[in-house]
Amino acid sequence: MPDTLCSIYLTEYVQRVFFMVRSKKALELCMGILLIVGAFLLSREVVQVVSQNRKAAKTIVVDAGHGGDDPGMVTEELKEKDLNLAVAKKLKKYLEDAGYCVEMTRTEDKGLYQEGTRNQKVQDMQNRVAFIGEKTPLLTVSIHQNSYPDPSVKGPQVFYYADSVEGEKLADSIQDQMNERLQIESPRQAKGNTTYYLLKKSPGVLNIVECGFMTNPEEAAYLQQADYQEKVAEAIGEGIRGYLEQKE
């Protein structure tokens, strides 16, 4: 074979080998890049899932009762829905300062119903239950104010679903804190109930906290004061913390 032809074949062979090596390296480089990108995306998903799980693990739902067209109990000076929201907002801040994630069913004067709905109250209650189910919280507290024909009756009252062992434990903890911190003259005990819609239908542990009686002039005056609302929120918050710490 002539030297020139041999040189040509050798050159082509070397070029082919070089191309194959270069292609293999390029392929390995591409695979490496894909693996890195895949690992990065997977890590982001894992972090997001872990973050969501941690958030769910420390979430508390605070429900400000009534709202919008539903004022709740009304006196000459007060509407229950306004007091409920004021206390709920303060409770939210207190719990967040303690390290919990708080989800509120409402943050303004609106009910959880669509305008024009025939039975707004039913839809409102159903949507509150659905909201709680979606958030899967550690527990839920629903803030309300009480009333009674006898204006001398006063004092906070916590309700739990009568068949819920954990609900009763939470209610006892909140009731004790409210009785002590608000210096209630005639302390009440937490009370079981099987008729309230939220207690019956809500998933997980839920308490209804009646902060005081709007029909008692002295207590109604207190409930309008921001500093007293703070005390109420702190008492509920400490009751919640005590219950959760006991569980842990």
My answer on whether 146 and 200 are in the same domain is yes
**Between β-strands 206-213 and 139-146, what pairing exists: parallel, antiparallel or unpaired?**
parallel
* Of the candidates 112, 106, 113, the residue with the CA atom closest to the CA atom of residue 88: 106
pLDDT digits 0-9 by tens, 187-233: 999 999 999 999 999 999 999 999 999 999 999 999 999 999 999 99
My answer on whether 2 and 76 are in the same domain is no
CA distance 119 to 106: 19
My answer on whether 37 and 90 are in the same domain is no
pTM, entire model: 0.79
My answer on whether 23 and 76 are in the same domain is no
My answer on whether 40 and 104 are in the same domain is no
My answer on whether 62 and 52 are in the same domain is no
Checking if the pLDDT of 3 tops 50, the result is yes
Mean pLDDT for the stretch of residues 149-167: 98
Mark which of 57, 87, 102 sits at the end of a domain.
57
CA distance 193 to 196: 7
**Between β-strands 191-193 and 59-64, what pairing exists: parallel, antiparallel or unpaired?**
unpaired
Domain that holds residue 19: 1-57
Tokens of 80: 């229950």
CATH number for 145: 3.40.630.40
* Domain total of the chain: 2
Q: Which of the 8 DSSP states describes residue 141?
A: E
pLDDT value of residue 176: 98
My answer on whether 35 and 151 are in the same domain is no
My answer on whether 241 and 174 are in the same domain is yes
**Cβ–Cβ under 8 Å, residues 90 and 223:** no
pLDDT digits 0-9 by tens, 30-57: 566 666 756 666 555 544 443 444 445 7
